[in-house]
Chains A and B, each alone.
Chain A
């Protein structure tokens, strides 16, 4: 394969991965949360963990979904059962990197900041950190086999209900 061809492939993959990150963020920030589980494979894993627990080698997650069913349950619970003050997120994703792509599995990472705005108008930095993903191709779509959101802070203000 020529150098040009390799570069083209890399560029194409990078654009696809970037589009996936953008679509994911827009889906959450637009409050189209029912579409969120669809970013994952059927058995996909979603975790929010803290940097502290990860560095201590502790297994606890803030949210742990093993499979799309649990993600759907999270969203149903949020819509029908859980009580919280209405708020929206604005994700700012940066430094997206394809780490490697082998045997149909693509590993990526990014940095993120999430601003949270309450209906009162108060905007605050709710979370920042890093994400680590494993993607696979299903049909013509890239889907998340795993997304691990690593919060830099151990502290969560008030509560966490909308996925990151």
Chain B
């Protein structure tokens, strides 16, 4: 990993392994700046969008990689391009709308135009007016296109990287974890809607939260409160060998097609009962008995299957103490009205108002507020040892969180 850096950091990891992290990692603007260079512009695949969001030539959407504004476009030849959304001239945003369809990109500031692949195709008043002004004869337009990212499409997910060193995506996350993406996105996807949730905390607190299978049943007590716990649930945590990526999953034992009637679930407390259990129903559609699967792709993608609620979550850092979480809620092409209605019901569980997810919106902020006072104090991650081993049958482990820090440290060089 190249350590040449525009930023000087004297940051030293203060512990022998990744089972401790100093609060400084959440509160230090210099580390945030270094992350932009070494992580987001480094050898990682950043999630950019779905192929179904830009199905036609000329379609584009805008997004971010770290702080860099990005345009994802489909060229006339059908190829997908990822471009930095910054005019080569004065640096203005070329696309200031979230999505659209165009034949070329035009920066409105001085009317410079670019192809869908980012090549500079036109400069206004290139030859000046009346023989005066304009570009010098030796100005080479081909050197002034929009900055391009390398793109890889894995299944229906589009990723981009600034680095030439990033290995192919399947190698980046490993076969075992690719298998879950293949398992969930088995049919052509369609977007059912977007949520955006602003989290008052550093992006890494949310990235860790997704890898923290230990907190799930403790913080999110909706299931237990209402006694909607299926008996005989198995599951575990899979972690890529380098620790960076993970999958936490739950499998039920029975394929009895369960409308989750109150009689089919074990009641832990009799005091609260759901009046309406439709949002807990699960139509088996993926060819297996997995009920929940939360998968992370380092650094900022979460692939979600919660019953029939399918989604990708994109973590966008917005400064060292603010994060925007973009939820793209998915269904399959060909879903009938009943299936769409079921997905809409189950989506009550997740999102900014999700009955089993809303807590994740605030806990990170509580860490952020408490962490600032003493950046050298440390968070400890002792559950399930100090390594990054996978765990079969139990999710009471912080191995995947330690895996996150293993990846962060490798890229940051600390």
Contact = CB atoms under 8 A, between A and B. Distances in A.
5 contacts: A58-B191, A60-B195, A83-B219, A84-B362, A159-B362
Given A58-B191, A158-B197, A69 B222 contact: no
Interface residues of B, number: 41
B352 A62 contact: yes
Contact of B194 (A60, A65, A80): A60
A7 to B, nearest CB: 42
B270 to A, nearest CB: 13
A59 B344 contact: yes
B51 interface: no
The SS class assigned to the A binding surface is: mixed
B186 interface: no
Given A60-B329, A73-B226, A158-B361, 4 more contacts: A58-B192, A66-B345, A68-B275, A70-B276
A45 B300 CA distance: 35
A162 B192 CA distance: 24
A85 B274 contact: no
Contacts of B353: 48, 62-63, 156, 159-161
Interface of B: 98, 191-200, 219, 221-222, 224-226, 272, 274-276, 278-279, 324, 329, 340, 344-345, 347-348, 351-353, 355, 358-359, 361-363, 365-366
A5 interface: no
B75 to A, nearest CB: 23
Nearest to B274: A73
Contacts of B355: 74, 77, 81-82
A157 B340 CA distance: 27
B194 A50 contact: yes
B271 to A, nearest CB: 8
B196 A73 contact: no
Interface in A76-125: 76-77, 80-85
A116 to B, nearest CB: 13
Nearest to A65: B348
Given A77-B225, A155-B196, A82 B348 contact: no
A40 to B, nearest CB: 13
